[in-house]
């Protein structure tokens, strides 16, 4: 008699479009390969991380994705380093895997699509890009 295969739950991820004053947040599952904007966290310092902790408690993600911006030629700039620091802080505080995605032009793309909340929509674009890059 064979055992049924164990049921593997779909990976749930939260993605972040980092900014100095605002951080867009989106969620999605690897199973569907789709993301949806959640909200923008308009806070800094500890208030920002408290808001993120509340989202993590609500959504229980298996991993996080952070968009990292670069110049059009691929060179890093100040926000590249800030976004990477943010990713390290997320990993250190919440002990979840954190993946980085090149997020050039995601906010521009979100605005062009008519998004009401461009930061959260950019986070959804970042997460869908992550799904495309990591799908088998």
User: What was the pLDDT predicted at 6?
Assistant: 47
E-assigned strands of the chain? Answer: 12-17, 23-29, 34-41, 63-68, 98-102
DSSP-derived letter for residue 47 is: H
The three state secondary structure string of 100-123 is: EEECCCHHHHHHHCCCCCHHHHHH
Q: How many CB atoms lie within 10 A of CB 51?
A: 17
Of the options 2.30.40.10, 3.40.50.920, 3.30.420.140, 3.40.640.10, the CATH number for the domain spanning 12-134: 3.30.420.140
Where does residue 112 rank: exposed (0-12), middle (13-18), buried (19+ CB within 10 A)? exposed
Region for residue 68 given its phi and psi (left: phi exceeds 0; alpha: psi -120 to 50; beta: otherwise)? beta
Ranges of residues in the chain whose predicted pLDDT is under 70: 1-10, 136
User: What was the pLDDT predicted at 3?
Assistant: 52
User: What was the pLDDT predicted at 5?
Assistant: 47
Contact 44, 94 (CB under 8 A): no
Extents of the domains making up the chain: 12-134
């Amino acid at each position: 008699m064979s055992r049924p295969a164990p049921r593997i739950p779909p990976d749930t991820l939260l993605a972040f479009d980092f900014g100095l004053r605002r951080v867009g947040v989106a969620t999605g599952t690897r199973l569907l390969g789709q993301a949806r904007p959640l909200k923008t966290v308009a806070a800094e310092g500890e208030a920002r991380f408290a808001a993120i902790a509340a989202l993590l408690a609500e959504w229980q993600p298996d991993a996080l994705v952070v968009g990292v911006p670069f110049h059009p030629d691929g060179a890093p700039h100040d926000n590249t380093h800030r976004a990477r620091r943010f990713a390290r802080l997320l990993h250190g505080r919440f002990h979840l895997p954190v993946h980085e995605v090149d997020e050039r032009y995601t906010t521009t793309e979100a605005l062009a699509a008519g998004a009401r909340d461009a930061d959260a929509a950019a986070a959804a674009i970042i997460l869908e890009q992550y799904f495309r890059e990591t799908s088998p």
